[in-house]
Structure 1
C-alpha cells in the first residue's frame, strides 16, 4: 500500500480537478496466510491480500456520497471520488455526517512493529506437530477436526481534505485447536483453545495445547444436571460473550435508533452490582490487535462504560456524539452508514464489603466456560437469553462435566445479581476479564 502522504497528494489533486472541496478516505489492507491440517497432512493452505478503501464526498449542498474501491493508485482514487460525488446528490438530509473534530488530534503511541511473515511450510509443520501432540494426549481424543494457524499483516490509513493524515501497521499470529473424542457408550465431547500474539515466535502454542487438552479431558466423564436455579460462575470468555451480545446497552447508535436496552437518560443510573466496572480500552497492553484510531480518524482511548455498577458512558461516533452533546470515543466504523462497535473490553472487579467466593469451597455451583449459539439464543432488544453451554458442576473444587444443558436469564437482572467479581483477570482475544459470580440463574438439563 502506498504511503498515506502519496494517497493524500493525488487525492487532493483529483478532488481539485473534479471540483470537490470536502472529502475523506479510510482504507485498510490485510495480507493473510492461513493453514489447516488433518491427520498429519495439510488440509488447506490459503494466502490472500484484501484491500478496502471507503471514500466520502460532500457536495455544495453538504450532502454526502459514499463509495468503496480496492484500488489506492491515483486512477482508482480519482474514479472513487467521482463516483462518491455523483452519489452525494442522493445523500440523506437528516443527521448528515461530518469530519471528526479530533481527526487531526495526536494519536497514542504504541509499540507495534510489523513482523516478517514465516513461510507457510513453517505454519504447517508447527500445526501438524500440535495436532499430533493433542491426539497423543489421551486415547479418547480421536481427531482435531477444527484447527488453524495464521499470520496477518494489517495496514490502515485515514485522511481528509482538511489535512488529517494517519497511518499504522501491525502484525499478529494466531492458533486454534478444537478436539473431538469418542468413547464406547458415550457421546462425542469437544473442547478447544485459541491464542493470539504479535508474532509467530511469541505465539503460546504450548499454552493452547495445554488448555485444549485439559478442557477436553475434563469433559469425558460427564453427567446430567437437574433443572433448577443455580449459583453460576461465568468464565472470562463466557462473560465477555454475554457482554458483547448486549452491547446495545452502551452503543450510542443503537440508543438513538431506539434499538437498545438504554435511553439517553440512562447515564448515571445503577444498572449493575457495585462490584463491577467495565471499560472499552482499545489500547490495553493485552490487546494484540490494538488500533490507535477509528474509521473516522478519531484517536482511540479508554472509555468508561460501567463504573461501580453505574452506567457512566456510551460508545460514540462523531455523528452520535454530536446528537447527544458528547465527544466521539474512537469506536466508529466507516461504511455506507457509520456504525459503532466496542474495541476491547476491560472488566474490573471493585472492592466491596461483600463476601468473597472460591471454587475450592463452594457446593453445587455451575461454572460456565463457553456459551454457544449466541446468534440464535439472544434477544438483544428484550434483554433475554437462553443458551447452550459447556461447563461443570463444582463441589469443593471438584469439577464434573455437565451433559447438554442451557442457561437462561435476563441480562439486566444478571448485572444486578452479580455477587462477586474475582480480582485475577485473564487476557483473552476479546478483552481482559476475571471470573464473574451470579447469585441465581435458571439451568435446564436434558
Structure 2
C-alpha cells in the first residue's frame, strides 16, 4: 500500500524545489482482490493495486492548473507539479477554485477501520459454497450468472500548501448474487441481493444468497397486470435508485449550471410530501465504506436536504459554496473541474402510526416495486420524467404475485409529493439507507 507519510514529504520537497508556493494534492491507493464463479468452478479471479494523485497549482496571477498521475515516485510527483504549474497559465479566470475554508477543520474520529484480507482461495471456496446452496434452493434455479466476492483496502490523503493534512485508511468487503430460472413454457425469472461488511468474516453471505433465492423463487409464478394508476410500494433499493437518478435536485453545481430541477430560490420550498425527510450522511453508522473528507479536504458529515417535505440545503463544493454564500458540505471531487455528488442518502423512517396505515400484510391491489431497470435510458433528469421497467409483485389481500412485465412512469416532483407513507424500519443498501416508501397514483403500464 501507499506510504502516505513518505509521499506527503516528497510532494512538499518537490514543491519547494520548484518554487511552487500554492498547491494542493489529493491522492488515493486501492488494493483489491475479487472472485467470481460459474457452475461450480472459478470463473474469474483478480487482484490489483492502483494509485492516483491529483495535483492543483496556482500561479502568481491566481489561475490554477490541474494534472493527475499514477507515478508516485519523487520524479513523477515533481513532474506532476511542474505540469500543473505550466497548465496554470491557461486556467480559467472566472470562478477559479480555491482551498476549502474547512480543509483544516476537525474531522470525525472513526477509529481503526482496517481489516486483513483473506487469501484468494478462501474467497473462491466461500463463493462456490454459496453458489451451490443457491442452486440447491429450488429446482428451477439453474444458474447464478452474476456473482462476486471482493475485498478492498483504501488509503486516501489530502494536503495543501497552507498546512492542511488529512489521511485515512479503511477496508471493506462486498458480495452479491443474481440468480436466474429456466422452466419449460415459462419466461426466465431472476432475483438478486447484495451485502457489505468490514471483512470477509463479517459479511452476511448466507443472508445474501438466501435473499437472492427467496426473490428468485417468488418470481417463478407470475401474472400479467392491467395498465392503470396504482398505489405503489417502493423497496428501499428502488426508492434510493430513483432519488439518485434525480440527485440534480440537490446539486449546487447543477443548479448554477442550469442543469437542475431546482433553482437558487428553491431553498425553503416544499418539494415533497411532509412525510419525507432526506439527508446526505457519509458518516452514517451503517456506512461501512464511509470516508471522512472529500477531494478538497472538507470534512464529510450529515447534510439535511429535505425536512418534512421542504428543500433545506444543496450539496456544495468550496466553489459553489462561495458563489451561493454557503458552506462546503464535503461532497466535492477535484479534477479539471471540481464536481459535486451525493455521498450516502439516508431517508428518515416515518412514524409508527404512519406505518400502520399502510400494512403490507393486508394491502390489496398494490404494486410492489423491488428493482428499477434501465435508469441510464429511462430517466430524463432535466425534465423530471421517467419511464422505467421494473421487477416486482402485485399484492392481493396481503399475498404477493410476481408481475410478468410492467413499466412505471411519471414525474419525480409529483412522485415526491404523492408519498403517503414512509415506513418505520430502514434497510441498508449499496446506495444508502431507506425504509419502504408508499406512493399514491403512479402510472403502471402492464401487458394485461
Asked if the contact 1:363–1:395 (Cα under 8 Å) also holds between the matched residues in 2, the reply is yes
**1:340-379 mapped onto 2 (5 Å cutoff):** 340-351=340-351, 356-379=357-380
**1:185-334 mapped onto 2 (5 Å cutoff):** 185-334=185-334
Asked if the contact 2:278–2:347 (Cα under 8 Å) also holds between the matched residues in 1, the reply is yes
Deviations 1:377-405 (A, max 9, x none): 00000000000000000022200000111
- How far is the alpha carbon of 1:5 from its aligned partner? 3.6
- How far is the alpha carbon of 1:7 from its aligned partner? 2.5
Q: Distance in 1 between matches of 2:209 and 2:34?
A: 19
Corresponding residue pairs, total: 446
Structure 2 residue aligned with 1:179: 179
TM-score relative to the length of structure 1:
0.98
Q: Distance in 1 between matches of 2:232 and 2:259?
A: 29
Q: Distance in 1 between matches of 2:306 and 2:170?
A: 30
Q: Distance in 1 between matches of 2:203 and 2:146?
A: 18
> In the alignment, does 2:419 pair up with 1:406?
no
- How far is the alpha carbon of 1:76 from its aligned partner? 1.4
Asked if the contact 1:306–1:313 (Cα under 8 Å) also holds between the matched residues in 2, the reply is yes
Q: Distance in 2 between matches of 1:113 and 1:444?
A: 46
Deviations 1:343-389 (A, max 9, x none): 11110134498672111112100000000000000000000000000
> In the alignment, does 2:429 pair up with 1:428?
yes
- How far is the alpha carbon of 1:73 from its aligned partner? 2.5
TM-score relative to the length of structure 2:
0.98
Structure 1: gaps spanning 5 or more residues: none
Q: What secondary structure, in the 3-state scheme, does the structure 1 residue paired with 2:223 have? A: coil
Structure 1 residue aligned with 2:93: 93
- How far is the alpha carbon of 1:8 from its aligned partner? 2.8
Q: Distance in 2 between matches of 1:104 and 1:274?
A: 37
Structure 2 residue aligned with 1:31: 31
Q: Distance in 2 between matches of 1:246 and 1:316?
A: 16
- How far is the alpha carbon of 1:3 from its aligned partner? 4.0
Q: Distance in 2 between matches of 1:379 and 1:287?
A: 29
Asked if the contact 2:2–2:29 (Cα under 8 Å) also holds between the matched residues in 1, the reply is no
Structure 2 residue aligned with 1:384: 385
Structure 2: gaps spanning 5 or more residues: none
Structure 1 runs (4+) deviating above 2 angstroms are: 1-10, 349-355
- How far is the alpha carbon of 1:111 from its aligned partner? 3.1
Q: Distance in 1 between matches of 2:111 and 2:184?
A: 52
Q: Distance in 2 between matches of 1:397 and 1:45?
A: 43
Q: Distance in 2 between matches of 1:94 and 1:353?
A: 52
Asked if the contact 2:2–2:51 (Cα under 8 Å) also holds between the matched residues in 1, the reply is no
Q: Distance in 2 between matches of 1:191 and 1:352?
A: 30
Cα distance change of structure 1 residues 138 and 252 upon mapping to structure 2, 3 Å threshold: same
Cα RMSD for the two superposed structures: 1.2
Structure 2 residue aligned with 1:78: 78
Q: Distance in 2 between matches of 1:13 and 1:172?
A: 33
Q: What secondary structure, in the 3-state scheme, does the structure 1 residue paired with 2:121 have? A: helix
Asked if the contact 2:64–2:89 (Cα under 8 Å) also holds between the matched residues in 1, the reply is yes
